[in-house]
Amino acid sequence: DELHQVCSILGYGMAEAKKCAYYLYRKGKRNFMDMELLPKILRSELEGQLTISWHSPIKEQISGDGTKKYLFKTPSGNFIEAAFMPGPKRNTLCISTQAGCRMGCSFCHTATIGFRENLAASEILNQLVSIPERALVNRIVFMGMGEPLDNFWNVKKSLQILTEGWGMAFGAANITVSTVGIPAPLEELFSLGLCNIAISLHSPFSEERMGLMPIEKRHPIAKTLTLARELSLPKTLRLSFEYILLNGVNDSPTHALELAKILAGIKCHVNLIPLNGHQSTTLASPTTKQARDFQRQLNTLGISTTLRTSRGGDISAACGQFSASSKQ
Ligand code: SAH
């Protein structure tokens, strides 16, 4: 609509707006003059009136496991990061929605940076458009720096551009937005049906979750779960819960039992993520055997689970670690 509006002021229509969107989003063009199928006069008008803000990463790191981490500098001078994780079937890109974060989760490195800024939709999408592996990416997870539902307007806009035919034409089933669970925007995210939804749970006990995730005080997980019970996603999309495994904190049989209890009646999957340790936390990840035991307990209780392997550990690829280690 925005492109259409600009084009119509210049005497052109939807056809030109769509061509322009194609060059911008599919081709990642940085210059209107390179949009060969647009009339020359329109190209130079657009060039004079608009700025294309795609910009390349300023730094990259490659891990031994193939994970590539990119650091971007936003126009206002903040650092954000994206991680490209190649796999046998899927090539996943993990992107940021904010520079820093205000959620203050105790295990998360981004929390140590504090909140810097909300990313514009263009800055969110730039993390895909401006990396060399762009054409290889077939799965996008909003699991980088920031809380997507704390920047919902821009996240929504980026989801629309990602999934629309005139945009990047990604299947909604190949996109996952991860959130701490903020009820009002979460409800809207469910109804949009533009992505899978992952909710960061991390403890089934309110007091304990509050210690890990301060958001529990304002938006208790019990409320979010009530919402998850009432709402549904289109059949092709999936609701999952993320559960960081913290040695001796949230990985006991009591936790498995309570987790199964609070998730009863919700069609979902649980992703168990061993903590990716960093210097700002004393929390530790359990051993692989302990993690497998916890997984088995949940499976026995009828909860479907995946035990994630940590990627890019040698290049500080977990949430916020790359940009926190860059000079700000
Ligand atoms: N704010 C959103 C999305 C960003 S964090 C959210 O909380 O869901 C994405 C996921 O990474 C969350 O599940 C978060 O809890 C997890 N995470 C953060 N720091 C981590 C760490 N050090 N090790 C493992 N997972 C981490």
Q: Could you tell me if 195 and 177 are in contact, meaning their C-beta atoms sit under 8 angstroms apart?
A: yes
Q: Could you tell me if 185 and 231 are in contact, meaning their C-beta atoms sit under 8 angstroms apart?
A: no
Look-up of token digits 């009591």:
254
Does residue 216 sit in helix, strand or coil?
A: helix
Residue nearest to atom 10 of ligand 1 (CA): 143
Model pLDDT, residue 320? 62
- Interval 106-118: pLDDT, tens: 999 999 999 999 9
38-45 long-range Cβ contacts below 8 angstroms, 24+ apart: 39/12, 42/7, 42/10, 42/12, 42/16, 45/10
Question: Which one-letter DSSP state was computed for residue 313?
Answer: G
Model pLDDT, residue 277? 86
Share of the chain above pLDDT 90, in %: 91
Ligand 1 pocket, residue 151 CB under 6 Å: no
| pLDDT greater at residue 17 or residue 313 | 17
- Report residue 7: phi and psi, to 5°: -65, -40
- Mean pLDDT, to the nearest integer, of 205-232? 97
Residue type, position 220, single letter: P
35 CB neighbour count, 10 Å cutoff: 21
- Mean pLDDT, to the nearest integer, of 204-213? 98
Does residue 253 sit in helix, strand or coil?
A: helix
Q: Could you tell me if 64 and 206 are in contact, meaning their C-beta atoms sit under 8 angstroms apart?
A: no
Share of the chain above pLDDT 70, in %: 94
Model pLDDT, residue 120? 98
How close is the Cα of 103 to the center of ligand 1, in Å? Answer: 11
Model pLDDT, residue 319? 58
Q: Residues near 86 by Cβ (< 8 Å), separated by ≥ 6?
A: 66, 67, 133, 136
Biggest CA–CA distance in the chain, Å, is 69
- Mean pLDDT, to the nearest integer, of 123-144? 97
Mean pLDDT, the chain, whole residue set: 94
Lowest mean pLDDT among 153-162, 290-299, 310-319: 310-319
Q: Pocket of ligand 1, candidates 96, 97, 143, 246: which has the most ligand atoms within 8 Å of its Cβ, to mutate?
A: 143
- Mean pLDDT, to the nearest integer, of 21-26? 96
How close is the Cα of 149 to the center of ligand 1, in Å? Answer: 14
- Mean pLDDT, to the nearest integer, of 252-266? 97
Give the burial class of 312: count Cβ atoms within 10 A of its Cβ; 0-12 exposed, 13-18 middle, 19 or more buried: buried
Q: Which of 296, 276, 278 is nearest to 286 (CA)?
A: 276
- Interval 79-113: pLDDT, tens: 999 999 999 999 999 999 999 999 999 999 999 99
Model pLDDT, residue 321? 63
Residue 26 has pLDDT above 80, yes or no: yes
Model pLDDT, residue 328? 36
Does residue 299 sit in helix, strand or coil?
A: helix
What's the whole-model pTM score? 0.95
Give the burial class of 209: count Cβ atoms within 10 A of its Cβ; 0-12 exposed, 13-18 middle, 19 or more buried: buried
Q: Could you tell me if 3 and 19 are in contact, meaning their C-beta atoms sit under 8 angstroms apart?
A: no
Q: Pocket of ligand 1, candidates 176, 216, 273: which has the most ligand atoms within 8 Å of its Cβ, to mutate?
A: 273
Model pLDDT, residue 278? 84
- Mean pLDDT, to the nearest integer, of 133-149? 97
- What spatial distance separates the first Cα and last Cα of the chain, rounded to whole Å? 36
- Interval 266-298: pLDDT, tens: 999 999 999 998 888 889 999 999 999 999 999
Beta strands in the chain (DSSP E): 59-62, 68-73, 79-85, 92-94, 98-100, 115-118, 139-142, 175-179, 196-200, 239-245, 269-274, 305-307
Residue 262 has pLDDT above 50, yes or no: yes
Give the DSSP H or E segment for 226.
helix 221-230
Ligand 1 pocket, residue 276 CB under 6 Å: yes
5 CB neighbour count, 10 Å cutoff: 10
